[in-house]
Structure 1
Amino acid sequence: MHVGDSGETRDNVRGVHDVDGGDQLEDMLHAVKDQFDDNPSMLESLLSDSEKPLYEGCTKYTRLSAILKLYNLKAGHGWTDTSFNMLLELVKDMLPKDNVLPDVSRTHHESLESCPICKALRYKKREGAVPAKVLWYFPIVPSFKRWFSKAEDAKKLTWHFDSRVDDGMLRHLADSPQWRFIDGKFPKFANEKHNLRLALSTDKFNPFSSLSSTYSTWPVMLVTYNLPPSLCMKRRFMFLSLLFQGSKQPGNDIDVYLTPLIDDLIMLWEEGVEVFNAHRNEKFNLKAMLFCTIQDFPAYGNLSGYTVKGEITRPIGTEDYKGTWLKASRKHDYSVHCQFLPPNHPYRRRKNVFYGKQEFKGQPKVILGEKVFDKVKNIEITFGKKHKSTLSMKGLKKVFISLAASLLETSFSETFT
C-alpha cells in the first residue's frame, strides 16, 4: 500500500491499531487466516507473537501488538526506513534486556553499495546487479518444530535419554566423556530429554568440477546427536543451514556468514523456543547446544580461529609443538611424533631413525577452555580482505563467535582435541 499525502489513507492506517479501542489482533488474525494455508508455520509464528509479552511482566503490549503500533506510527507520519530502524534500536535498548522486539542491527547496510569497513563492492563491476557474494540462510527453528510435530520423529529424538543402553561401552557420542561432562556441568539442560545436541560441519567444494576455477561454495550442515547411530547421519535428519558462495574463499570472514546461524544457536541455548511434541501431545521449551564441529584441517583453521600454516599449526601444545623448516622444499615438517611415545620407549633414543636427534620431551598438554579464552578475549578483529595483514600469522588469530561464545564459555576440559 502506498502512503502519500492523502489524509484518508493515513486515517485508515491509524485505524488498524487503536490503543484506545484495543489491539483487535484476534479480528486481524482471523481475517488473514485463509492466506496462510500454504504456510502454516507463518500463521503459527503470528499467533505466538500475539501472545508473547513484550518483556517479562508486561501486560499492555505483546510482541505483535508493539510491532504493529510502531509500524502504524511509521506509516502514519511518513518516517524513513533509516529513522525507523534507529528508533527501533533505541527503544529496544531502553526496554528491559529480555524484551522481544526485533533486532535490526544487521539491517543498517541493506542499501549500501560497498562495505563501510573495507570498501569492497557489493556487486560485481561489469555485471551490475550480480552480487559479489551470496549467502543463503535456512532457519533452523522451523526444522526442529517440524520434527517434533511428527509423533514418530518426536519419539526418536529422545532416544539418547529413553532407549540408549548405558553399559560403559562406547557406541554413540552419548557414551563419550564430553557428553557426560556437559551433563554434569549443566544438569538442567541434561534433564530435559528433548534438548538437542548438534554438530556443525562445513567445507569448500567447487560446483563446476574444474580445478582451474577459483569459485567456491561452502555449505554448513547440522547433525543431530539425540538420534540413534543408525539415524543421526541419515539425510532425513541432516539439514543444510547455510550456503555461501563466491569467487573467493571466506577465510577469516567466515564469522560474518555464520552470524545468523550463531544468533539462532545462542537464542536456543539461552532462551529456547516453545515447541509442540506430537508424541506426548504437549508443549515444551526446546533448547539446543553446539556439541562439536566436523571439518578437515584447513576448514578447522577458519572455524577455530587458529593458524594452520607456518611454524605453529597445532592447537595442542601450541608453542611446544613447533615444526622444522626444510630449506630444500621450503616447507615446514612436523616430525614430533616421538613426543607421544611412552617415556621409556627405545625409539626416543634412536637418532638414526628420527631426524638425527634424541627426543625426551613429553606429550604437549591440552589447553583448557578457560586458558584459550584468556588468549583470545582481547583480540580485536576487523573483517574484510583488505585487513587480512592485521591477523596474527602464528597461533590464535581471532575469536570465533560460536566457539568462543558457546564452547569455551561452557568450560569444556578438552575443547581442542
Structure 2
Amino acid sequence: MVNDVFGVQSRFEPKQNFEQPPNEEAMGFYQELEEAIHPLWVGSQHSKLFVAVRMINIKSDWTIAEVAMDSTIKLMGELASPEFDIPTSYYQENRLVSELGVSYDRIHCCPNGCMLFYKQDADLNECKLYGHACYRQTPSGKMVPIKAMHYLPVIPRLKRLLASPSSASHMRWHNENRRTPGVMCHPSDREAWKHFDRTYPNLASEPRNIHLGLCADGFTPYSVSAAPYSCWPIFLTPYNLLPEMCMTSPYIFLNCVILGPRTPKVLIDVYLQPLIDELKQLWCECVVTYDVSTKSNFNMHASLMWTINDFPAYEMLSGWMTAGKLACSYCMENSKAFTLKHGHKNSWFDCHRQFLPMDHEFRKMKQAFRKNKTENDPPSRALSGEEIWGRARQKHNPKARLDFKEYCRCPELNLQELVNNKVFKPKASFSFTLEEKREICRLVKNLRMRRVYHTGEHTQFVEDIALGPGSEVKTMKMYIVNVTRLQLMYPGYPKKKITLFRCKWFDPSQRGTRVNRQQNIIDVKHTRQYNRCDPFIIAQNAKQVYYAPYPLRRDKADWWVVIKTKPVGRIEVDNALDVAYQNDVPFVHQTMDTELENSLEHPQNILEEVDEDDVTIIENVEEESTDGPETSNGEESSDENETSEDEWEND
C-alpha cells in the first residue's frame, strides 16, 4: 500500500518483454484450480475446493474418524440439492486437494532410525545396515510399517508461490525495496545476505530465486506425566517476501514430522534425506517455474541461508558438540569459559565482550560483568572452510602421538620412522580391525538373555527383590565422618530394607596413600580424593576406623594415620576369611601397577602411514623439544619429597 501511494518503482526488468504461456505443469495446475473453484450453484460464494478444505480441517482439528467423515458427507449430499457439486466421500476430498500439487509422501523408516525406505531402498523389507525388522503383520495378514514419516515436498509449494497472483509479485520484494546503508528491516539488509550475493552473482542476478530458512525444534505432544515421546517438526520459510508476510502461517511450510519416541539426535540427517535431495536439486540444477506476475517461465534456484534453532537442535543439525568448554563454535579453543568453583559446572558468563568494538564502554566495566575484570582481547578470527576441515581430521593426527611421548610412558605408541623416511603410527592394543568389529557386532546381535534367573523355588520374596527398591530413600543422621547413610525399602511383605553408605574415597595411589611396612601404619592424604570408584557400598562391607593427625609435624599436616577400631556395643568374632584392613591397600597398589604394566602395543603390530605434511610438523616440534626439558611443577616436586620421606622412614 505504501509503495502504491509513493510510487516506488521496481528495479526488476524481465528478460523478455512478451508474455509466455504457462508450462505444461503450470497449465495443469490452472485447469485443476479452475474446476475446483467453480461455485456450488449460481451466485454461491463457496466452491467445491472450499468445502473439501474445510472438511479436512474439521477432521484434523477434532480427530474425527474417516468413517464418521464419510457418513457426514453422505448426509450433506442427501440434504443438499442434486445440482450442488460437492465431494461424495472423504477420499474424493483428499484427492481433489492432492491434484493441486500439494500432497505429501509417507516414507517408511527403520524403527531405530538407521535408514529410510526411500528411492532405491523403497522395496526392501528389512534394514539393510543391521537387518532390523521394519514391518509387522496385522491380524488380517497385511504387512504394515512399524514406523513411518510424513514428508511434504517443498518444490511444489515454492512453485505455487509464483503461480499465485497474491504472492508472485511479492517474491521480488527483497530486491525492489533496498534500504539505505545502516538501516535493517529485512534479512536482505544483513551482511550475510549481501555476502552471498557477492559470492554467487549468477544466482543473485535473478531476484525470483528463493532464499530459505530452516527451523527445527522438538516437543512432547502429551502431558509431562505421560510416557516420554519426542516429536520434531521441520519448517521452511521463504525470505523473499516482505517482513509482514514471510513470518505468517500461510508462508511457513511444514516440511516433515520426525516421530519419536526418542529424540533423533545425530540420526536427524537420515530423516532429512528427502529435503537434502530437493535442496541439491534446487541448488545444482534448476526447476522450470511459471511466474504469473510477469507471465513468463524461468529456471528457479533456491538456497538454504541459515537455520533457526536452540542449542540442542544446533548440535543435531550441525554436528558441533555443544557440551563442555568448547561448546561455542565461534570461540573454540579461544573460549573463555570457566568452571564454577562451587557448582562445578561450565559457565560462559562474560565470554563474549570480546566481540564488541575495541572502544566500547562495556569493555572497561569492572562491576557490571565479571568482578574486577576488563576485556582487552580482540574477537576470535573466523576460520576458513579448509581450516575447519583440517580440525575435523585432528582427532588421531601425529600431534596426538607426540603428546603421548611427552606426557605418557607408552613407547609402543610413539611414531616410528622406517625405510624411505616414512613415518608410521602403531595401532594400539585396544583397537580392532574391521573384521573384529564385525565379529563383535554379530556377537551382540545374536546375544540372547533370559528375563529371569533364579535357583530353587520361586517365592514372593524373590519377586519383590527382582522389582527393585522403591523411589523413596530414607537418610539417617548419624555421627559419621566422610559417609552418608541411606536406607532403601523394597515392596511387599514382610518389609525388606538395605542400608547403603555413600562414601568419599581417598586417593589409593602413592600420592594419596602411603604404607609403612615396618611399623604397619597406613597414612592417607585427606586433601586428595578419588572419584572414579562407585560411591555406594553395603553397610555390612564397611569397617570402622578413625583418623589421627600427626601432632607437631608441619610437613605432615595433610596426612592422617588410619587406625582400625571396634564398633561400640559389638563384639567381633575372629573369622579366618576376614582380611586385615592393612593388607587391602598394598593389594590395591599391586593391582594398579599390574594394569599399568600391560603393553599397549597391538598384537599384530599394525602400522598406519602418516602424511608427508604431518611429517614436517613432527620434525619442527622435535627440533623445538631439543632446546631443553621443561621444569617440573610444584605438585611433582612435592611428590618427590613425599617419596623421600617414605624411604627415610623405611630406613
Query: What band does the TM-score fall into relative to the shorter chain?
Result: 0.5 to 0.7
Quick check: 1:161 aligned with 2:175?
Answer: yes
Aligned AA (2:129):
I
Aligned AA (1:244):
I
**Counterpart position of 1:76:** none
Q: Please report the RMSD computed on the Cα atoms of aligned residues, expressed in angstroms.
A: 3.9
Tell me how far apart the structure 2 counterparts of residues 257 and 135 of structure 1 sit (CA, whole Å).
Answer: 8
Alignment match of 1:111 (pick from 107, 124, 130): 124
Query: CA offsets per residue over residues 27-84 of structure 1, 9 Å max, x none?
Result: xx9xxx9999875567xxxxxxxxxxxxxxxxxxxxxxxxxxxxxxxxxxxxxxxxxx
Q: State the shift of 1:324 in Å.
A: 2.3
Tell me how far apart the structure 1 counterparts of residues 344 and 269 of structure 2 sit (CA, whole Å).
Answer: 31
Alignment match of 1:371 (pick from 387, 398, 401): 387
Query: CA offsets per residue over residues 235-266 of structure 1, 9 Å max, x none?
Result: 11111011111111010111111110011011
Q: 1:346 to 1:287 in 2, by over 3 A?
A: closer
**Contact between 1:41 and 1:142, CA under 8 Å: does it hold in 2?**
no
Tell me how far apart the structure 2 counterparts of residues 237 and 251 of structure 1 sit (CA, whole Å).
Answer: 27
**Contact between 1:274 and 1:285, CA under 8 Å: does it hold in 2?**
yes
**Counterpart position of 1:56:** none
| 1:5-404 aligned within 5 A | 40=99, 106-108=119-121, 110-113=123-126, 115-118=127-130, 121-122=133-134, 133-162=147-176, 164-168=177-181, 169-210=183-224, 213-326=227-340, 328-335=342-349, 336-340=351-355, 350=366, 354=370, 360-376=376-392
**Contact between 1:159 and 1:226, CA under 8 Å: does it hold in 2?**
yes
**Contact between 1:132 and 1:247, CA under 8 Å: does it hold in 2?**
no
Tell me how far apart the structure 1 counterparts of residues 237 and 256 of structure 2 sit (CA, whole Å).
Answer: 13
**Contact between 1:275 and 1:285, CA under 8 Å: does it hold in 2?**
yes
Q: Secondary structure at the match of 1:313?
A: coil
**TM-score, normalised via structure 1 length:** 0.59
**Contact between 1:222 and 1:240, CA under 8 Å: does it hold in 2?**
yes
Q: State the shift of 1:145 in Å.
A: 1.7
Aligned AA (1:254):
I
Tell me how far apart the structure 2 counterparts of residues 187 and 319 of structure 1 sit (CA, whole Å).
Answer: 35
Q: State the shift of 1:153 in Å.
A: 1.5
Aligned AA (1:117):
L
**Contact between 1:132 and 1:246, CA under 8 Å: does it hold in 2?**
no
Tell me how far apart the structure 2 counterparts of residues 378 and 260 of structure 1 sit (CA, whole Å).
Answer: 31
**Contact between 1:314 and 1:321, CA under 8 Å: does it hold in 2?**
yes
**Counterpart position of 1:54:** none
Q: 1:253 to 1:193 in 2, by over 3 A?
A: same
Q: Which one has more relative contact order, counting CA pairs under 8 Å at least 6 apart?
A: 1
Q: State the shift of 1:365 in Å.
A: 2.4
Aligned AA (2:276):
I
Tell me how far apart the structure 2 counterparts of residues 255 and 319 of structure 1 sit (CA, whole Å).
Answer: 27
Query: CA offsets per residue over residues 124-167 of structure 1, 9 Å max, x none?
Result: 899997755432111111111222222232111111223x1432
Deviates more, 1:337-346 or 1:183-192: 337-346
Tell me how far apart the structure 1 counterparts of residues 197 and 304 of structure 2 sit (CA, whole Å).
Answer: 14
Q: State the shift of 1:210 in Å.
A: 2.1
**Contact between 1:348 and 1:359, CA under 8 Å: does it hold in 2?**
yes
Tell me how far apart the structure 2 counterparts of residues 326 and 41 of structure 1 sit (CA, whole Å).
Answer: 58
Deviates more, 1:33-42 or 1:322-331: 33-42
Aligned AA (2:134):
R
**How many pairs does the alignment contain?**
287
Tell me how far apart the structure 2 counterparts of residues 347 and 280 of structure 1 sit (CA, whole Å).
Answer: 53
Q: Secondary structure at the match of 1:201?
A: strand
Tell me how far apart the structure 1 counterparts of residues 235 and 343 of structure 2 sit (CA, whole Å).
Answer: 37
More strand by share: 2
Aligned AA (1:207):
P
**Counterpart position of 1:18:** none
Structure exhibiting the larger radius of gyration computed from Cα positions: 2
* Structure 2 unaligned residues grouped into runs of 5+: 1-27, 36-91, 102-116, 397-440, 442-651
Tell me how far apart the structure 1 counterparts of residues 172 and 362 of structure 2 sit (CA, whole Å).
Answer: 50
Q: State the shift of 1:187 in Å.
A: 1.2
Q: State the shift of 1:373 in Å.
A: 4.0
Q: 1:157 to 1:118 in 2, by over 3 A?
A: same
Q: Secondary structure at the match of 1:316?
A: coil
Tell me how far apart the structure 1 counterparts of residues 358 and 247 of structure 2 sit (CA, whole Å).
Answer: 40
**TM-score, normalised via structure 2 length:** 0.39
Share of identical aligned residues, percent? 30
Deviates more, 1:123-132 or 1:283-292: 123-132
More helix by share: 1
